[in-house]
Amino acid sequence: MISFGPVPSRRLGKSLGINNVISPKVCSYNCVYCQAGKTYEKSIKRTTFFQPEDIFKKVLEHIQLLSEEYYPDYLTYVSNGEPTLDINLGKTIELLKSSGIPIAVITNASLLFDETVRNDLFLADWVSLKIDAGDNDTWQKVNRPASGLDFDKTIESINLFTNIYNGILCTETMLIDGMNDDADNLTSVSEIIKRLNPRTAYLAIPTRPPSEESVNPPVSEKLNMAWQIFNNNQINTEYLTGFEGTDTGFTGNIYDDILNITSVHPLRQDSLIRLLRNDNADFSVVKSLIKQRLLRSTIYNGNKYYLREYHLHINSQLE
């Protein structure tokens, strides 16, 4: 399950996803809104998940299977957890650069205290940093970081990285009703982001089923207030609140396409139906995956989604 898509991305066009973290999920955070489910393995220790040559080979094979229409605009690390936990991230980026396709990394920014992580990310053409909280209390509530991480040090490390990074820098702030959408937090977050001078600061809301059922998007007045606060701080701000579209890339292997995409985010029913059509398959594939307990469906905000089903050995790391 190393590569998937390309999926239509609101920020990156046709984005071929690279999942460089083993399933089900390893992350330094356990965000309440995570679309990849709860973090059962919370870690801040970099490790080997795959060999760089294997990722490189899989991605090149995947690209060769795509028609011209789906040639990716970006190769994007959007993992089943935190991509910088992969100790080989830099080596893999260097290999993938030979494809000529720009590389993007979507990271939660929590490991930037580590110089090797900063050096790896310097190699990427586009980096998005997650900044949801302007203070430690909100950070603990929304992102639920692994022990060993410190809020002030994380912000300091983000500054250290952005002072040197010369690719395209973006930030992403996920807004949750009643958790981080108050004026105080939004003001603090906007002050942190202003110092980073990103190309664009994205304000996101949960558009897919979250890890915690109680999580909801903010009311529209709060979203508007967030934009006003960022904008008043001269930050180029955009909403990331719409649906990406249904035009998902396909490889001809419908089982792999469905399982690879749903291991990173749930698939809305209309996207799934389009994918089935493109892969010349029918709904019996979905029924079979559900029967094998590899997929399940859920309703969120009036839409039906299909999620990857995992059979986890739950341990004490679960919060």
Q: What are phi and psi of 153, to 5 degrees?
A: -65, -35
Cα–chain center distance at 238: 17
Q: How far is the CB of 290 from ligand SF4 (least distance, A)?
A: 24
**Site of tokens 């940093």:** 129
Cα separation, 128 vs 310, in Å, equals 28
Q: How far is the CB of 285 from ligand SF4 (least distance, A)?
A: 27
**Does residue 31 belong to the site contacting ligand SF4 (CB under 6 A)?**
yes
Is 259:1 a contact under the CB 8 Å cutoff? Answer: yes
**Does residue 41 belong to the site contacting ligand SF4 (CB under 6 A)?**
no
String of contacts with ligand SF4 for each residue 249-288, x by CB under 6 A: ----------------------------------------
Task: List the one residue from 30, 157, 207, 251 that touches ligand SF4 (CB under 6 A).
Answer: 30
**Does residue 34 belong to the site contacting ligand SF4 (CB under 6 A)?**
yes
Q: In a 10 Å sphere around its CB, with 0-12 CB exposed, 13-18 middle and 19+ buried, how is residue 186 labelled?
A: buried
Residue 188's identity, in one-letter code, is: S
Q: How far is the CB of 231 from ligand SF4 (least distance, A)?
A: 25
Cα separation, 38 vs 226, in Å, equals 27
**Does residue 36 belong to the site contacting ligand SF4 (CB under 6 A)?**
yes
String of contacts with ligand SF4 for each residue 61-100, x by CB under 6 A: --------------------xx------------------
**Does residue 206 belong to the site contacting ligand SF4 (CB under 6 A)?**
no
Q: How far is the CB of 143 from ligand SF4 (least distance, A)?
A: 6
By beta-carbon proximity to ligand SF4, the closer residue of 183 and 312 is 312
Task: List the one residue from 2, 27, 133, 155 that touches ligand SF4 (CB under 6 A).
Answer: 27
Cα separation, 164 vs 32, in Å, equals 31
Q: What is the largest CA-CA distance in the chain?
A: 52
**Does residue 109 belong to the site contacting ligand SF4 (CB under 6 A)?**
no
DSSP structural state of residue 239: E
Cα separation, 70 vs 107, in Å, equals 25
- Stretch of 22-30, 186-194, 223-231, 281-289 contacting ligand SF4, by CB under 6 A: 22-30
Cα separation, 288 vs 318, in Å, equals 30
H or E element at residue 130? strand 126-130
By beta-carbon proximity to ligand SF4, the closer residue of 264 and 267 is 264
Tokens of residue 162, six digits? 């952005």
Question: In the complex, which residues of this chain contact ligand SF4 (CB under 6 A)?
Answer: 27, 29-31, 34, 36, 39, 81-82, 108
